Structure 1
Amino acid sequence: MNIIVWNCRGALKSSFQKHVRELVQNHDPAILVVMETKVGGERAREITNKLPFDGAIHTETIGYAGGLWVLWNADKVEISSLANTEQEIHIVVKVRSMNSSWLFSAVYASPRSAERQILWNNLMRVADLQNMPWVIAADFNEPLMEEDKFRGRAVSVRRSLLFKECLDKCNMIDIGFSGPRFTWTNRREVQALIQERIDRFFVKPSWCGLYPEAKVVSQAWRHCPRLIDAIDTFTKEAKVWNKTQFGNIFSRKKNIRARLNGIQRSIAIRPSSFLCNLENELLKELDSVLSQEEELWALKSQVNWMIQGDRNTSFYHFSTLVRRKRNQIMAIKDNCGEWISEESAVKEYIRSGFAGIYSTSLISAPVTYNLNHQWQPRLSEEEKQSISGGVTNEEIKAALWSLKPFKAPGPDGLHGGFFQRF
């Protein structure tokens, strides 16, 4: 089951419905959350009625900002609305294929800190009133730590502590992410560029237990003696023209998205004017390709398809799941600064790296020792007896007890703590 959360920055843009169609076609989401729609009331309902979802919940905008929609596919999930405000929507999700239910909160936090404090209080109140598996998908408009921001004003320690206090009270954990490090940018020139990670998914440990793997005709009509020959000529030359002028729209769209992903990752690491300008150019090119694709499908179909036991067992289990997710190596940078993402290539690079550390290109080196020098260090008789004797039980116990109990296990799969206790 897929859940998509998208900050659209305005649902009245001409490209909005195209992007929704693209998301539905590529990912088939059971739930779609759209944030910062900047549209509410009857206009919001008119737009969502045209989208390929069976149900929708809307919030009102916060002045000229905000706006939050939750849309769902009734074939996949059953939704029960609990409560909503301008900043949040709380629903109970029942997954039909699993017959499981859990709480889902979609949040678009206000840009104003005083109103965000109201949101933190509301979330803590929800935590006190229920004990269901819980997911919070949000644009919090608040970086959690200094590493979540590139340039601009420093992260407020006071506000981040209030944010963390709310998450602790709700018993939330961050299951990590893959992709570009930052989720928001002001899209300025590199000298004024600001980037932040303010969009996050948080879950309760009990939800993590339910879903442990939750990871774009000239010269054709020349003179021909017969009309049928002219048509054949036009068909052939139109194919050549289409290939040279447009190419494969789907391949172009895939390539543009791949380039965008790489550029956004690079901007998060080392921003530059060239990369920012290239990102904006590719976004415009992607919009153009999406328009061409829409026209292509309209021509082909002649219809618009969008019309219709142990007290701590669970704690350690969930902690292990979260740690495992965070410790996954999704990509690695080689010596040339290029990213390797294929699993087999990552394994080979790590293996060859260790092989290089513990091997040498030097085949042999002649070594001669002159044992006649009197100044060479020697062991005393007492030291010789000390190292040549058998290992005592006391020495074995001292070595075993010097190990940390729950570090890496031995070849038998048992930690040092097992032997220390049993």
Structure 2
Amino acid sequence: MEFVKRSIKFDHLFVVEAKGRAGGLCILWKDGLSVKVVDFNKNLIAVKIFDSACEWLLVGFYGPPYPSKKKKARENLMALLEAHHGPWMCFGDFNFVLNENEILGGKKGSSSTNFLKDLMFEVGAIDLGYSGVKYTWAKDSAWNDEHGGSEFTRLCKKQAATRDALKKWNKEVFGKCQERINAIMKRIKEIQSQPPSFQYGDLEAALQAELSEWLLRSETLWRQKSRELWLKLGDKNSKFFHLSTIVRRKRNNIDAIRDGNGSWITEGNAIRKRFLDHFKDLF
């Protein structure tokens, strides 16, 4: 998380560590804010913020997806909010929705208790709405497609469909990293050529933050492709990773072999035939 903190230009963080690959929470903030962590567990982090107007409580909450654990998490959150005397705000993923139009597809009209609605009613909370993408999570429909044949055949078809869907997603989302980086940098350059103003200053700051996020995505993508374990933290130069990926692919190829007479074979089909003939002779 220290790497992420530096990459997105934050100064402080507080982490609730994951257990294996499950769980884990983090909250980050910048210099200039007076922040004190007052409570935390595997489902929430609560901090008290001191500003010129007042002291107020900010709670980041992640609701467990398992019905057996939702009630306990809700009770802990309720106790924390009721114990605080003063203004507060709670944000995060509650794993509940207030209205059915917040869900696209899937089952609607669940008969189970909606703890989010109950909590908001009991503490008199107000829904502040959202900004950005409306739907923040989706299931992979490729895996859920129906296929005929035996169980083994259906499994193979599901895997093939999911693989193709992931390839398409990777190309459409991550494949446009550099395009987005170039577009943001062009926009920043245009703003910097304008006379200074508060409006342009705020817009440039937002673009710089978005640029840092896309640079981090690009860096992570090429680190994974290059399989290099000694990535220097915060290095934004991806040229090395492009080259090392190409080198690794070349290293995995067989460009030439010698036959039994010591002559070099360099043509791809001839190399494959030589290997096949050799193993046929062995077995």
Picking from 136, 154, 157, the partner of 1:183 is 136
Counterpart contact for 2:49–2:58, Cα < 8 Å: yes
Return the structure number with greater helix share. Answer: 2
Q: Percent identity?
A: 21
Counterpart contact for 2:36–2:48, Cα < 8 Å: yes
Taking structure 1 as reference, are residues 73 and 127 closer, same or farther at Cα in structure 2, changes over 3 Å only? same
Larger Rg: 1
Deviations 1:172-202 (A, max 9, x none): 111223444322112434986xxxxxxxxxx
In structure 2, the residue corresponding to 1:79 is in which secondary structure? Answer: strand
2:119 paired with 1:166: yes
2:43 paired with 1:87: yes
In structure 2, the residue corresponding to 1:84 is in which secondary structure? Answer: strand
User: How far is 1:99 from its partner?
Assistant: 4.1
Structure 2 distance, partners of 1:45, 1:103, is 25
Match of residue 287 from structure 1: 177
User: How far is 1:62 from its partner?
Assistant: 5.2
Structure 1 distance, partners of 2:68, 2:20, is 15
Taking structure 1 as reference, are residues 53 and 179 closer, same or farther at Cα in structure 2, changes over 3 Å only? closer
Structure 1 distance, partners of 2:20, 2:99, is 28
Instruction: Letter of the 1:284 partner, please give it.
Output: F
1:1-40 correspondence to structure 2 within 5 Å: none
Match of residue 66 from structure 1: 23
Taking structure 1 as reference, are residues 174 and 62 closer, same or farther at Cα in structure 2, changes over 3 Å only? farther
Unmatched 5+ residue regions in structure 1? 1-43, 193-275, 296-303, 308-422
Counterpart contact for 2:34–2:49, Cα < 8 Å: yes
In structure 1, the residue corresponding to 2:89 is in which secondary structure? Answer: strand
2:54 paired with 1:100: yes
Taking structure 1 as reference, are residues 117 and 48 closer, same or farther at Cα in structure 2, changes over 3 Å only? same
Structure 2 distance, partners of 1:287, 1:65, is 28
Structure 2 distance, partners of 1:70, 1:130, is 20
Structure 1 distance, partners of 2:4, 2:143, is 36
TM-score (norm 1): 0.35
Picking from 90, 105, 130, the partner of 2:84 is 130
Structure 2 distance, partners of 1:279, 1:127, is 40
Structure 2 distance, partners of 1:80, 1:181, is 31
User: How far is 1:49 from its partner?
Assistant: 5.6
User: How far is 1:125 from its partner?
Assistant: 0.4
Unmatched 5+ residue regions in structure 2? 146-165, 186-214, 217-231, 236-283
TM-score (norm 2): 0.50
User: Where do 4+ consecutive residues of structure 1 move more than 6 Å?
Assistant: 276-279
Counterpart contact for 1:53–1:71, Cα < 8 Å: yes
